[in-house]
Amino acid sequence: MKSIHSERPDRVLLNFFLSENISLSADTVFAVCFSGGRDSTALLLMMKDLSRKYSFSLKAVYVRHNIREEEECVREENHIRSFCLNENIHLRVEEIPFGFIRRLASGENRSVEEVARTERYRIFADLRKTGWADWFLTAHHLDDNFETVLYRIFQGAGVSGVKGIPPRSGYFLRPLLSVPGAVLNAYLKDKSVSWFTDSSNYDLSFLRNRYRQIVLPFLQKEIPGFASGLKRFIGKMNEADKKISSGTADFSFTQADNIVTIQREKWDSLPDWEKTESLYRALQTVLNENERARISYDFLNELKNSFGEKLYRGVRIRIDSHSIVFSPPGQDCFRKDFCIDISMPGEYAFPEGKVKVEISSEPNPKAAFAFPTEAVVPPVFFRTLRFGDNRLKTDCDFSPATIPDCCIGDRNGLLAVFKNGRRFRKKNADLEKNRFFNYYIS
* 104 and 13 belong to one structural domain: yes
Predicted confidence (pLDDT) at residue 268 exceeds the cutoff of 90: no
Predicted confidence (pLDDT) at residue 147 exceeds the cutoff of 50: yes
Q: Can you tell me the distance from the alpha carbon of 77 to that of 410, in angstroms, rounded to the nearest whole number? A: 56
* 207 and 63 belong to one structural domain: yes
Residue 201 neighbours by CB under 8 Å, 6+ apart: 37, 209
Question: DSSP 3-state assignment of 206?
Answer: coil
* 56 and 182 belong to one structural domain: yes
The DSSP output letter for 132 is S
In the prediction, which pLDDT does 20 show?
A: 92
* 347 and 216 belong to one structural domain: no
Mean pLDDT of all residues in 119-141: 93
Predicted confidence (pLDDT) at residue 176 exceeds the cutoff of 80: yes
Q: Can you tell me the distance from the alpha carbon of 170 to that of 301, in angstroms, rounded to the nearest whole number? A: 27
Separation in Å, CA 213 to CA 116, 154, 173, 217, 363: 21, 17, 26, 6, 60
Phi, psi of 313 (to 5 degrees): 50, 40
Least confident residue range of 24-33, 85-94, 113-122, 196-205: 196-205
pLDDT, mean over the chain: 83
pLDDT bucket at 95, cuts 50 / 70 / 90: very high
Predicted confidence (pLDDT) at residue 387 exceeds the cutoff of 60: no
Least confident residue range of 57-66, 328-337, 422-431: 328-337
pLDDT over 70 percentage in the chain: 86
Least confident residue range of 22-36, 85-99, 125-139, 247-261: 247-261
In the prediction, which pLDDT does 51 show?
A: 93
Between the ranges 236-250, 254-268, 287-301, where is the mean pLDDT highest?
A: 254-268
What tens digit of pLDDT does each residue of 331-381 get?
A: 655 556 678 888 899 999 887 788 999 988 888 888 888 888 888 888 888
Looking at the 3D structure of the chain, how many domains does it have? 3
Of the three residues 281, 299, 327, the one that is the final residue of a domain is: 327
Between the ranges 148-157, 352-361, 422-431, where is the mean pLDDT highest?
A: 352-361
User: 272-286 and 297-304 are packed helices; what angle lies between their axes, rounded to 10 degrees?
Assistant: 110
Question: In CATH, what number is assigned to the domain containing residue 311?
Answer: 3.30.465
What percent helix, strand, coil does the chain show, rounded to 5?
40, 20, 35
Within a domain: residue 225? Answer: yes
Mean pLDDT of all residues in 12-36: 94
* 32 and 120 belong to one structural domain: yes
Mean pLDDT of all residues in 103-117: 82
Q: Can you tell me the distance from the alpha carbon of 290 to that of 308, in angstroms, rounded to the nearest whole number? A: 27
* 321 and 344 belong to one structural domain: no
- Where residue 170 falls (left for φ over 0; alpha for ψ -120 to 50; beta otherwise) is left
In the prediction, which pLDDT does 175 show?
A: 95
Residue 371 neighbours by CB under 8 Å, 6+ apart: 415, 416, 425, 426, 428, 436, 437, 439
Predicted confidence (pLDDT) at residue 238 exceeds the cutoff of 90: no
* 291 and 348 belong to one structural domain: no
Q: Can you tell me the distance from the alpha carbon of 168 to that of 233, in angstroms, rounded to the nearest whole number? A: 19
Predicted confidence (pLDDT) at residue 6 exceeds the cutoff of 70: no
Q: Can you tell me the distance from the alpha carbon of 286 to that of 267, in angstroms, rounded to the nearest whole number? A: 19
Helical segments of 131-190, H only = 142-155, 159-162, 181-190
pLDDT bucket at 400, cuts 50 / 70 / 90: low
Predicted confidence (pLDDT) at residue 35 exceeds the cutoff of 70: yes
Query: First vs last Cα of the chain: how many Å apart?
Result: 64
Question: In CATH, what number is assigned to the domain containing residue 230?
Answer: 3.40.50.620
* 274 and 359 belong to one structural domain: no
Task: Residue count of the chain, please give it.
Answer: 442
